[in-house]
């Protein structure tokens, strides 16, 4: 039996009780000032993460009020990059238990554990901690991801916190550091084999769906060899989607479209490199193919050995995305990244590799020499795994480029101008996807629903943007979530994957507004 179960925290959904005594505006200002003061005193990202987690444990309404009022400043501390530090040190951190831990080797019935939870749940985020951000296998530390994602579901997606459930599936770990760490609270045995893994996931999905048949289930941070098969297996069986594959694709493709239009280039004519042939990269490339209607452009997946061609050894998810072998520079010869940039001359390069510094000076300079206003998107998280930093790009080729990142970066000063770097954060899309599917009780989340989410973000107009921002200002995410929810819900009705097919647009908008949870601190006391 793993230590996590001995601590008996596997069924605590972590919802703090709240008093019904009113809070005055004066007290509210004092409380928020105290939070800011505590954050200013914290001397690193992990300390700031813990500060906000403790506020969340003490008074969730105050926590969410603060996050909504300070979304730009607080987002890096409740999610990336700080959540990566928290996941790495999870067994050492001191905060209230939160979430459902399911341990394969403890012999307990998943159904019995799930049925024992008396809360009604709308959104579930589940991980096995096997590939946390770009940090690898962190075991039960992956729970930090599930908690963080659900915090954002409430903060910008309006899902009531008591109707969310973070889940971590503990099937062992292959991380030598965790195995040798006396403090680690999870199962220290090797991860179970594929046969046992898929059998246990069947048990978990069945139990969750039977207990909460209308809940949306979001997969997070499963390893590449499991993420895609799980999505294909369950996509039309349950109300589920994979944020690493589909959420990342949605925000990345919307960002590419906005960036190309900003650069005065037609998306249908663009040549796009997606560097990284795993689940995230294939998800991005697939959505680009389905969305851009290429005339003269194309999307290329570039993996460890170079551009993927259809005569290479490919995974199932790579097969439909590989380029024709006839496009090789020479027969059977690989086309590595630098040579591919020189030969194909991409307008856009997207990095989802987790390989620090992969987009080196030669790659960036070569790209810039062949295309006006290149779009450069190092999306790997955390910052330590970033393929290139915005500052490096500006140092090498100046500011005649559009740079967007996966991790948050400070504005870059160049030639007397301040360039705000848009962060391609999944927070722009997954809360709205979940909200939209929830309000019309969609029976599945289809590829077309996700495509409509992408279109909603790509076309969202934001008056707050600076000249250099590509994505809407992060302060607009509540409005973006509602816009995406609207688009997703309409598409669900049009496809007939919901019984709510007769809702008029006015009624749908009203339903989204009514479903959108607000802290209402005036009626609650800290």
Catalytic residues: 79, 149
Q: Taking the CA of residue 372 as centre, how many other CA atoms within 13 Å lie in the half-sphere pointing to its CB?
A: 5
Contact assessment for residue 84 and residue 381, using Cβ atoms and an 8 Å cutoff: yes
Angle between helix axes 337-344 and 361-370 (nearest 10 degrees) is: 10
Contact assessment for residue 101 and residue 4, using Cβ atoms and an 8 Å cutoff: yes
Please give the Cα distance from 517 to 158 (Å, whole number): 5
Please give the Cα distance from 130 to 170 (Å, whole number): 9
Place of tokens 């991860």: 191
What is the DSSP annotation of 215-265? -EEEEES--HHHHHHHHHHHTTTSSEEEIIIIIHHHHHHHHHHHHHHHTT-
Please give the Cα distance from 287 to 266 (Å, whole number): 17
Selection from 256, 285, 269 nearest residue 470 by Cα: 256
Contact assessment for residue 56 and residue 155, using Cβ atoms and an 8 Å cutoff: no
Please give the Cα distance from 168 to 11 (Å, whole number): 11
Q: CB neighbours of 489 closer than 8 A, spacing ≥ 6?
A: 436, 437, 439, 440, 442, 498, 500, 503, 508, 512
Place of tokens 């905060």: 95
Please give the Cα distance from 416 to 291 (Å, whole number): 37
**Residue 334: exposed, middle, or buried by beta-carbon count in 10 A (0-12, 13-18, 19+)?**
middle
Contact assessment for residue 217 and residue 205, using Cβ atoms and an 8 Å cutoff: yes
């Amino acid at each position: 039996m793993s230590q996590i179960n001995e601590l008996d925290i596997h069924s605590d959904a972590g919802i703090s009780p709240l008093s019904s005594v009113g809070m005055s505006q004066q007290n509210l200002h004092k409380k928020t000032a105290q939070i800011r003061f505590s954050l200013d005193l914290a001397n690193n990202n992990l300390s700031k993460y813990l500060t906000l987690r403790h506020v969340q444990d003490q008074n969730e309404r105050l926590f969410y009020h603060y996050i909504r009022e300070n979304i730009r400043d607080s987002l890096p501390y409740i999610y990336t990059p700080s959540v990566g530090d928290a996941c790495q040190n999870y067994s050492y951190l001191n905060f209230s238990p939160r979430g459902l831990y399911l341990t394969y080797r403890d012999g307990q019935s998943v159904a019995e554990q799930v049925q024992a939870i008396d809360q009604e749940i709308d959104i579930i985020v589940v991980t096995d901690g096997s590939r946390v951000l770009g940090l690898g296998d962190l075991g039960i530390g992956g729970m930090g991801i599930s908690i963080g994602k659900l915090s954002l579901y409430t903060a910008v997606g309006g899902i009531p916190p008591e109707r969310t459930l973070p889940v971590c599936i503990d099937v062992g770990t292959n991380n030598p550091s965790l195995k040798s760490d006396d403090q680690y609270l999870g199962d220290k045995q090797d991860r179970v084999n594929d046969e046992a893994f898929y059998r246990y996931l069947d048990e978990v999905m069945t139990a969750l769906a039977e207990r909460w048949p209308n809940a949306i289930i979001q997969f997070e941070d499963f390893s590449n060899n499991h993420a895609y098969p799980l999505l294909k297996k369950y996509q039309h069986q349950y109300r589920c989607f994979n944020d690493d594959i589909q959420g990342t694709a949605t925000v990345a493709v919307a960002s590419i479209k906005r960036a190309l239009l900003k650069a005065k280039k037609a998306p249908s004519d663009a040549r796009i490199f997606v560097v990284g042939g795993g689940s995230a990269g294939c998800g991005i490339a697939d959505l680009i193919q389905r969305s851009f209607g290429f005339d003269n452009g194309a999307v290329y997946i570039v993996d460890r050995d170079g551009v993927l061609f259809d005569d290479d050894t490919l995974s199932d998810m790579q097969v439909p995305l590989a380029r024709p072998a006839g496009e090789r520079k020479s027969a059977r010869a690989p086309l590595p990244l630098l040579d591919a940039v020189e030969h194909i001359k991409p307008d856009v390069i997207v990095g989802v590799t987790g390989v620090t510094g992969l987009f080196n000076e030669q790659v960036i300079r070569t790209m810039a020499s062949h295309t006006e206003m290149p779009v450069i998107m190092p999306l790997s998280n955390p910052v330590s795994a970033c393929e290139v930093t915005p500052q490096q790009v500006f140092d090498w080729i100046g500011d005649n480029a559009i740079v967007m990142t996966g991790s948050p970066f400070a504005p870059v000063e160049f030639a007397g101008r301040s360039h705000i770097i848009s962060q391609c954060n999944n927070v722009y899309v997954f809360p709205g996807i979940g909200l939209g599917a929830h309000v019309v009780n969609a029976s599945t989340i289809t590829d077309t629903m996700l495509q409509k989410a992408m279109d909603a973000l790509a076309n969202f107009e934001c008056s707050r943007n600076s000249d250099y921002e590509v994505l809407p200002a992060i302060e607009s995410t509540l409005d973006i979530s509602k816009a995406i929810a609207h688009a997703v819900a309409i598409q669900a009705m049009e496809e007939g994957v919901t019984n709510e097919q007769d809702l008029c647009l006015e009624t749908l908008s009203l339903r989204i507004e009514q479903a959108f949870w607000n802290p209402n601190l005036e009626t609650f006391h800290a």
